[in-house]
């Protein structure tokens, strides 16, 4: 967590274009906020700011145009509202997640619960590089997990119950990857084309296609920005607690080995990612 340098030094306090003003970013894991907390933020923005709140790309809120002399009061008000000052610098910043199985019909994992657990353990940890963590419930990847320093994606491997397929073709129509064909009256899956999204499982009107392997794919080293880069596959695990364990190991690896001043994606080979990948795999087998 943060060292006690005072609110002025926290990553969630961002100097604006006008250096006499700053923006306060709020900590909102997975972008989830209660109605009462939302009202509280509105009151704080009206009292200490100019009555404006900005929604960020990382599922959190910012209160802009703040006078630095008011930061202490704002920090105390935000803590009381249970929406403390967030993070933006070289640290673990706000963890984002899609709605997951709580609401989305395409999701394969509970993304909100996972985001909250990771936030409780890692948010605000000082790092040599900025660490963004994004969680997606399925390969639709609405939160772009492959474009973050750490990405987590929920996937499922489909399997057809032998001898029961009617060959209706519903799964063929729903598969966006053209990974399923009807051959000799039954559906046949091409595993090379399948992205393990699970849509065919939900689409089968007879519940013949089942989930054989529901799991989490963890990726490392992605980035957005002016030169986007896809993260590298690290490992797949089956349980939420395994995800938390692996992410903590990634954070420790980066903390101990990475250099400041360079994006994580630019250091992956120097940090011997392939060796780290083998060590992680051995540790979880």
| DSSP H helices in the chain | 35-48, 71-80, 111-122, 170-174, 199-203, 240-257, 273-284
The yes-or-no verdict on residue 10 having pLDDT over 90 is no
d(CA 41, CA 26): 9
In this prediction, residue 9 carries a pLDDT of: 64
The yes-or-no verdict on residue 246 having pLDDT over 90 is yes
In this prediction, residue 212 carries a pLDDT of: 86
Q: What percent of the chain has pLDDT over 70?
A: 96
In whole numbers, what is the pLDDT of the chain averaged over residues?
93
Is the backbone of residue 144 left (phi > 0), alpha (psi -120 to 50) or beta?
A: left
- Mean pLDDT over 112-134 rounds to 97
Radius of gyration, CA atoms only, the chain: 22
Angle CA 160–166–169, to nearest 5: 80
Domains plus CATH for the chain? 7-80 (3.30.70.3340), 96-155+214-284 (3.30.413.10), 156-213 (3.30.70.20)
d(CA 243, CA 251): 12
The yes-or-no verdict on residue 267 having pLDDT over 60 is yes
CA-closest candidate to residue 247, choices 144, 147, 118: 118
Q: What is the pLDDT of residues 20-77, one digit of tens each?
A: 999 999 999 999 999 999 999 999 999 999 999 999 999 999 999 999 999 999 999 9
Helix H or strand E segment including 152? strand 150-160
| Strand duo 133-136 + 150-160: pairing | parallel
Q: What is the pLDDT of residues 150-180, one digit of tens each?
A: 999 999 999 988 788 888 999 999 999 999 9
Q: What is the pTM of this model?
A: 0.93
d(CA 57, CA 60): 7
Q: What is the pLDDT of residues 209-243, one digit of tens each?
A: 988 889 999 999 999 999 999 999 999 999 999 99
Confidence band for 4, pLDDT divided at 50, 70 and 90: very low
Confidence band for 285, pLDDT divided at 50, 70 and 90: low
3-state helix vs strand vs coil in the chain, percent to 5: 35, 25, 45
- Mean pLDDT over 126-154 rounds to 97
């Amino acid at each position: 967590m943060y060292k006690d340098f005072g609110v002025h030094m926290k990553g969630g306090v961002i100097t604006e274009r006008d250096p006499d003003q700053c923006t306060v970013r709020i900590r909102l894991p997975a972008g989830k906020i209660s109605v009462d907390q939302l009202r509280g933020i509105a009151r704080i923005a009206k009292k200490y700011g100019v009555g404006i709140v900005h929604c960020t790309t990382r599922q959190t809120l910012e209160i802009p145009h703040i006078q630095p002399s008011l930061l202490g009061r704002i920090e105390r008000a935000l803590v009381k509202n249970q929406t403390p000052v967030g993070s933006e610098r070289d640290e673990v910043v706000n963890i984002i997640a899609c709605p997951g199985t709580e609401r989305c019909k395409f999701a394969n994992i509970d993304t909100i619960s996972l985001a909250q657990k990771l936030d409780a353990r890692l948010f605000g940890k000082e790092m040599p590089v900025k660490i963004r963590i994004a969680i997606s419930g399925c390969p639709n990847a609405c939160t772009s997990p492959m474009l973050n320093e750490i990405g987590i994606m929920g996937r499922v491997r489909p399997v057809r119950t032998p001898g029961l397929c009617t060959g209706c073709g519903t799964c063929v129509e729903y598969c966006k990857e053209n990974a399923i064909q009807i051959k000799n009256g039954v559906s046949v899956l091409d595993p090379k084309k399948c992205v393990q999204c699970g849509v065919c499982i939900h689409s089968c009107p007879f519940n013949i296609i089942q989930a054989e392997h529901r799991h989490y794919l963890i990726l490392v080293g992605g980035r957005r920005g002016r030169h986007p880069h896809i993260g590298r596959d690290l490992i797949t695990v089956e349980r939420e607690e395994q995800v938390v364990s692996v992410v903590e190991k990634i954070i420790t690896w980066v903390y101990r080995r990475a250099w400041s001043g360079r994006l994580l994606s630019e250091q992956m080979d120097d940090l011997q990612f392939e060796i780290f990948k083998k060590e992680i795999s051995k540790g979880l087998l």
